[in-house]
């Protein structure tokens, strides 16, 4: 059982040492969910295994899976231009921003605030150019609004409806952009100057989802099975293919360096890890969702504190605990 295993011990340690107030850890495989455990209290609220958390950037691979469903249906191409879907985007740009660029942080779009009162689509269409598309790598949240716009252009349905279909098909029905799921309060936002409620109103396809450990484990088990319920095996393989190797990164946080595929991230320095082939994504709020194909494992770690690496939360320790379990 996970409750007494090394991964659970690691999660419990983060709470016991005061790095995070609450933690939910889940482990699954292609055979299903192995276990989910919860630790800690936050302002009198005891963490439970069914709690929703703000996923922040764990949203990105889920949105990417949603968009890639349109690619495998032949309705959309990785080389389609964002201006096909949004003719008003990038006035004055001489380059072409493609879907591949958007999903791999190579769009050259200068990122916009996660919060603020401007509609997200307007943020995107008026965003300035940071570099020529494809020439560099720079993490960009608003690019995923561009990918969502392209999925809507291809399919005709609102993006949230498309993502809901993915969630239903994979047993992740608790995934939502709605705050009525009673998520845990995010800690550290005031220090970072982030208006969390303002961010929630954006319903951001790069950072706005809420979910439970069970939601992410159910989706992860389908990816490990390569069942095709999320995307087809060839699509998943393409999403896991690094698109940023050998390209210069513009980054304010150089470590840990990770390669980017289409929505998914992969550890760049596997020499530090017991496992190879890991893919998934972290979230600013301390959330983690990773698949270990060689070990047939999926791990979910959910908490509610911004910038947990700065507080001593080392996910390489978690990766190695999962790989050895």
Q: What is the pTM assigned to this prediction? A: 0.97
DSSP state of 311: G
Tens of pLDDT, residues 134-176: 999 999 999 999 999 999 999 999 999 999 999 999 999 999 9
Range of the domain at 35: 2-324
Q: What b/e sequence results for 116-143 when a residue is b if at least 16 CB atoms lie within 10 Å of its CB, and e otherwise?
A: eeeebbebbbebebebebbebbbbbbbb
pLDDT score recorded for residue 280:
98
Tens of pLDDT, residues 46-68: 999 999 999 999 999 999 999 99
pLDDT score recorded for residue 144:
98
Q: Which residues of the chain fall short of a pLDDT of 70?
A: 1-4, 253-255
pLDDT score recorded for residue 2:
46
DSSP state of 184: P
257 contact partners, CB below 8 Å, separation of at least 6: 249, 251, 268, 269
pLDDT score recorded for residue 1:
40
Query: Which CATH number belongs to the domain containing residue 270 in this structure?
Result: 3.40.710.10
Residue (of 155, 262, 142) closest to 207 by Cα position? 142
Q: How many alpha carbons lie under 13 Å from residue 220 in its C-beta half-sphere? A: 31
Domain count, the chain: 1
């Amino acid at each position: 059982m996970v409750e007494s295993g090394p991964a659970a011990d690691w999660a419990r340690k983060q709470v016991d040492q005061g790095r995070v107030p609450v933690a939910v850890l889940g482990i699954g495989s292609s055979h299903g969910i192995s276990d989910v455990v919860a630790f800690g209290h936050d302002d009198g609220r005891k963490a439970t295994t069914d709690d929703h958390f703000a996923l922040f950037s764990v949203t990105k691979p889920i949105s990417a899976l949603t968009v890639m469903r349109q690619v495998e249906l032949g309705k959309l191409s990785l080389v389609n231009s964002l201006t096909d879907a949004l003719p008003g985007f990038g006035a004055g740009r001489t380059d072409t921003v493609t879907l591949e660029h958007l999903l791999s942080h190579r769009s050259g779009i200068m990122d916009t605030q996660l919060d603020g009162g401007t509609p997200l689509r307007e943020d995107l269409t008026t965003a300035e150019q940071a570099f020529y598309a494809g020439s560099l790598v720079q993490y960009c949240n608003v690019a995923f609004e561009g990918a969502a716009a392209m999925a809507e252009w291809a399919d005709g349905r609102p993006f949230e409806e498309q993502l809901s279909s993915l969630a239903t098909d994979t047993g992740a029905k608790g995934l939502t952009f709605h705050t009525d799921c009673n998520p845990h309060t995010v800690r550290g936002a005031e220090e970072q100057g982030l208006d969390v409620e303002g961010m929630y109103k954006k319903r951001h396809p790069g950072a706005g989802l809420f979910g439970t450990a069970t939601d992410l484990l159910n989706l992860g088990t389908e990816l490990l099975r390569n069942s095709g319920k999320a995307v087809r095996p060839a699509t998943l393989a393409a999403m896991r293919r690094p698109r940023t190797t050998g390209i210069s990164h513009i980054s304010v946080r150089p470590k840990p360096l990770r390669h980017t595929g289409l929505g998914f991230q992969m550890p760049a320095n596997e020499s530090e890890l017991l496992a190879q082939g890991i893919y998934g994504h972290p979230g600013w709020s301390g959330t983690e969702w990773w698949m270990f194909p060689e070990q047939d494992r999926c791990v979910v770690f959910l908490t509610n504190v911004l910038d947990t690496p700065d507080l001593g939360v080392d996910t390489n320790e978690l990766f190695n605990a999962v790989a050895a379990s």
